[in-house]
Amino acid sequence: MTAVTALFDPAMPDETSISLFSNTSMAQLTVALKSSNDGPDPDGKSFGPSASDYKGFIAQPSQLASGSFRGFRVVVAATVPRTEGRPTTNQISIVSPVYQGLASNTLENKKVAVSNSDTSAWVYFLDGTKDKVKLKEFSFSTGNVTSYMDGGDVALNSSLGAWYEPASDERFVVYQEAKNRRLKELSLIDRTTHDIVSTSDAKAGTCIAVTNYQGTTYLYYADKLDNVRRVTKSSGQWGSSQIVRDSPPVGDNQIAVVTANSFNHIFYLARDDTVDSRGFSHIVERI
């Protein structure tokens, strides 16, 4: 599975202000610079290791997540810890711009999400086994790990999407439930969950990508036919599900979304593409 995450830096020129991070088959991290407007991406603006370089430590198949802690931009992944024998846990780690372990979890769960406010940031990951999966939150401010939904109906190794809503000072996480495979929203403040009814067509193991802009939340996922779909939350209510226009089938690869210059920029490796051929799809939606 090809993992991706994207960060927007408004201080950079528009044509290179999105950094698209991805993993390699050798468990390393690469980055490509992308346009934050609706024009073409620049050619040749990518950086990463070669086939002869050292092997990395990103777990396979992990997902990537990114965010900012008080202006310090980080990329997070599940990684393989250093051990004498075979690892018995994953490590949840910062993988860019430095490496630092943050927490650990069971080998079965390799998905991560990040959200941030102006003053803090949080990493989300799952822990436990098939019969007892729980959500955990690492706080960059305190270094503490908090557990949620102990014994809840969470699919093992579910993809996660997270965001912070500044208007209400709330944190939210979207995950896939185990029983019906529908996506659900968890409020971290009051610990309540809500069905996102229009996502009943989500494929098992779908990737989840979320961005929040000026009080509106945009959720992207894959349906059973590998179509990329969008559901929008406004005024506290989730709307209907719509196929993202001009989006090729996604397959099992990760979806990333970042908001920049009044556009949602959606990135993923399409089902029928490879990194060596056409590369990553870059879909732009005006919001």
DSSP 116-148: E-SS-EEEEEEEEETTEEEEEEEETTT--EEEE
**Domain harbouring 197, CATH code:** 2.120.10.70
Task: Look at residue 114 and tell me if it is in a domain.
Answer: yes
**What's the CA gap between 127 and 105, in Å, rounded?**
5
**What's the CA gap between 78 and 111, in Å, rounded?**
7
In this predicted structure, what is the pLDDT of residue 273? 72
In the beta sheet, which residues pair with residue 103?
92
Task: Look at residue 117 and tell me if it is in a domain.
Answer: yes
**What's the CA gap between 243 and 127, in Å, rounded?**
32
Task: Look at residue 51 and tell me if it is in a domain.
Answer: no
pLDDT tens digits along 154-184 = 999 999 999 999 999 999 999 999 999 999 9
Task: Look at residue 104 and tell me if it is in a domain.
Answer: yes
**What's the CA gap between 168 and 181, in Å, rounded?**
29
Residue whose structure tokens are 């397959």:
251
Task: Look at residue 52 and tell me if it is in a domain.
Answer: no
Average pLDDT, the chain: 94
Task: Look at residue 192 and tell me if it is in a domain.
Answer: yes
Neighbours of 26 (CB within 10 A): 14
For residue 137, which of 82, 186, 209 has the smallest C-alpha distance? 186
**What's the CA gap between 230 and 100, in Å, rounded?**
33
Number of domains in the chain: 1
Contact (Cβ atoms closer than 8 angstroms) between residue 247 and residue 227: yes
Q: What is the pLDDT along the chain (287 residues), one digit of tens a residue?
A: 899 999 999 999 999 999 999 999 999 999 999 999 988 888 768 899 988 888 899 998 899 999 999 999 999 999 999 988 899 999 999 999 999 999 999 999 999 999 999 999 999 999 998 889 999 999 999 999 999 998 778 999 999 999 999 999 999 999 999 999 999 999 999 999 999 999 999 999 999 999 999 999 999 999 999 999 999 999 999 999 999 999 999 989 999 999 999 999 999 999 987 655 458 999 999 99
In this predicted structure, what is the pLDDT of residue 277? 47
Contact (Cβ atoms closer than 8 angstroms) between residue 142 and residue 122: no
Proportion of the chain above pLDDT 90, given as a percent = 85
Task: Look at residue 181 and tell me if it is in a domain.
Answer: yes
| Percentages (nearest 5) of helix, strand, coil residues in the chain | 0, 50, 50
**What's the CA gap between 286 and 127, in Å, rounded?**
36
Q: Residue 227 region, left (φ>0) first, then alpha (ψ -120 to 50), else beta?
A: beta
pLDDT tens digits along 216-243 = 999 999 999 999 999 999 999 999 999 9
Task: Look at residue 123 and tell me if it is in a domain.
Answer: yes
Q: Which domain holds residue 272?
A: 4-46+57-286
What are 180's two structure tokens?
């019906």
**What's the CA gap between 101 and 145, in Å, rounded?**
13
In the beta sheet, which residues pair with residue 286?
263
Predicted TM-score of the model (pTM): 0.96
